[in-house]
Amino acid sequence: MLWICLWLVLPVCSMAAGEDFVVVIDAGHGGKDPGAVGKKAKEKNINLNVALALGNLIKENCANTRVIYTRSTDVFVSLDRRAKIANDAKADLFISIHTNALPKGRIARGTETYTLGMARANENLEVAKRENSVILVEDNYQERYAGFNPNSAESYIMFEFMQDKYMEQSVSFAKLIQGQFKSHAKRVDKGVHQAGFLVLRATSMPSVLVELGYISTPDEETYLNSKKGVEALSRSIYRAFLDYKKTHTKEGTASVRPSSDISRGVKANQSGIEPAPSTKEAKATKGQKQRPVFKVQLLSTSAKLPARSSKLKGVKASYYTENGLYKYTTGETEDYNEILRLKRQLEKQFKGAFVVAFRGDAKMDVQEAIREFKDRK
């Protein structure tokens, strides 16, 4: 009877037909790496308990979703291996589950969810340092991570200008998770943040890192280590996953439903390094829809770059703003093949450069723009 009641109240995935949606669930730490340690529990075990519970909820209720774990037992898995598992599976979503901690004598409560980026607060940087320090127990970590020092603030500067073309989806999912933690699990909401997590850096899909609570705070440790806590936290992430999956398809970035910003039209800022190129050649005659214009996005920054910034490497660029970020683009053409050639040239200077599309000043779904281009050929 209890099982029947739970089935009636637990939200389930849509049964729409289609290709499998692949989600990789990453239980942080494991094996020789315990993660943060409390008075009674270890982070690696809390992470694994929630990861397995989340995976089971998805498996039992989402017939068209494939769940892959980076680990399902108490074993050590390197950070680069975790990302490789997700990339090899061509995952649609990557969820890394962790437990927070503070130095002795400090008390904090609540959940927070991170996406990849430059930490803007010291406390966020400290979280990234702690989670990244796992590489210190890996073999040949200096070679494997190109000399990255998880305890040096200088090493994190690279995240300032790191391009993440899945930022919008990642932030969207992170907000959904925090909303469910607050409403469903009744946890203190510490918000959505950015920080330089190595495990997120190498993933090629929307990715988040969840901090479930503070193992260093006695009452939170008790909750995190309890059956009630594991169920509430895993179901919160599961509910957020369902909401996310309703608006995202296998196509990833190109198929995401426009955010509220995009649906209103993201305006290209005319006071950037170079004035945003005119799109008048893309304007159709009266009664016709404007043709899409393709551009190459080079990088995103949290602060506007100065004129002739070295970060742009001599490339003339304009920018638009979205989700609090300055996004720099170059090139402008209705010809998708032409923009692809430009992108290939720029990839040598801007690793991760990718194509975006606009209709007038409003950003649009690039796959829709490509289809329109092909229909005209």
Q: Is pLDDT of 84 > 70?
A: yes
- Domains belonging to the chain, first-starting first, are 18-254 (3.40.630.40), 258-376 (3.30.70.1070)
Q: What is the phi/psi pair of residue 214, to 5°?
A: -105, 110
Given the DSSP bridges, would you call strands 111-116 and 189-195 parallel, antiparallel or unpaired? parallel
Quote the CA–CA distance of 377 and 367 in Å, as a whole number. Answer: 16
Stronger pLDDT, 261 or 32, i.e. the higher one: 32
Q: What is the mean pLDDT of residues 306-329?
A: 87
Decide the pairing of beta strands 268-269 and 362-364. Answer: unpaired
User: Cβ-count burial of 74 within 10 angstroms (0-12 exposed, 13-18 middle, 19+ buried)?
Assistant: middle
Question: Closest by alpha carbon to 24, among 209, 259, 275?
Answer: 209
| pLDDT for 91 | 93
The model's confidence at residue 256, banded by pLDDT at 50, 70 and 90, is very low
The predicted structure's pLDDT at residue 137: 78
Q: Residue 147 has what pLDDT? A: 74
Confidence category of residue 4, pLDDT binned at 50, 70, 90: very low
Q: What is the pLDDT of residue 64?
A: 87
pLDDT of residue 164: 59
Reported as half-sphere exposure (CB side, CA atoms, 13 A), residue 367 has a value of: 10
The residues near 242 (Cβ < 8 Å, ≥ 6 apart) are 11, 12, 13, 62
As a whole number of angstroms, the distance between CA 195 and CA 132 comes to 11
pTM, rounded to two decimals: 0.63
Secondary structure letter of residue 303 according to DSSP: S
Q: Residue 7's pLDDT band (boundaries 50, 70, 90)?
A: very low
For residue 155, what are the CA distances in angstroms to 132, 141, 214? 11, 14, 26
Please tell me the predicted confidence (pLDDT) of residue 182: 96
**Mean pLDDT of the residues in the chain:** 81
Local structure of residue 147 (DSSP, 8 states): T
Question: Which of 174-183, 199-208, 345-354 is least confident?
Answer: 345-354
> What confidence category does residue 94 fall into, taking pLDDT thresholds of 50, 70 and 90?
very high
- Scanning the chain, the segments in alpha helix (DSSP H) are 2-9, 43-61, 79-88, 122-132, 141-144, 167-183, 198-201, 218-224, 227-246, 260-264, 336-346, 366-376
Per-residue pLDDT at 252 exceeds 50:
no
3-state secondary structure of 26: strand
Using pLDDT thresholds of 50, 70 and 90, give the confidence band for residue 273: very low
In the block, tokens 């969820």 appear at 95
CA 163/CA 326 separation, integer angstroms: 11
Rounded distance, CA 256 to CA 247, Å? Answer: 6
Higher per-residue confidence, 335 vs 277: 335
Amino acid letter for position 136: L
Number of residues in the chain: 377
Task: Please state, in angstroms and rounded to a whole number, the distance separating the CA atoms of residues 158 and 154.
Answer: 8
For the chain, first and last CA: distance in Å?
60
Q: Please give the Cα distance from 292 to 376 (Å, whole number).
A: 11
Mean pLDDT across 274-287: 41
pLDDT of residue 325: 85
Q: In the structure, what pLDDT confidence band is assigned to residue 67 with cuts at 50, 70 and 90?
A: very high
As a whole number of angstroms, the distance between CA 138 and CA 80 comes to 10
pLDDT tens-digit map of 97-110? 999 999 888 999 99
| Winning range, highest mean pLDDT, from 81-85, 148-152, 253-257 | 81-85
| Cβ 93 vs Cβ 205: under 8 Å | yes
Q: How far apart are CA 122 and CA 132, in angstroms?
A: 15
The rounded distance, in Å, linking the Cα atoms of 226 and 50 is: 11
State phi, psi for 33 to the nearest 5 degrees: -110, 100
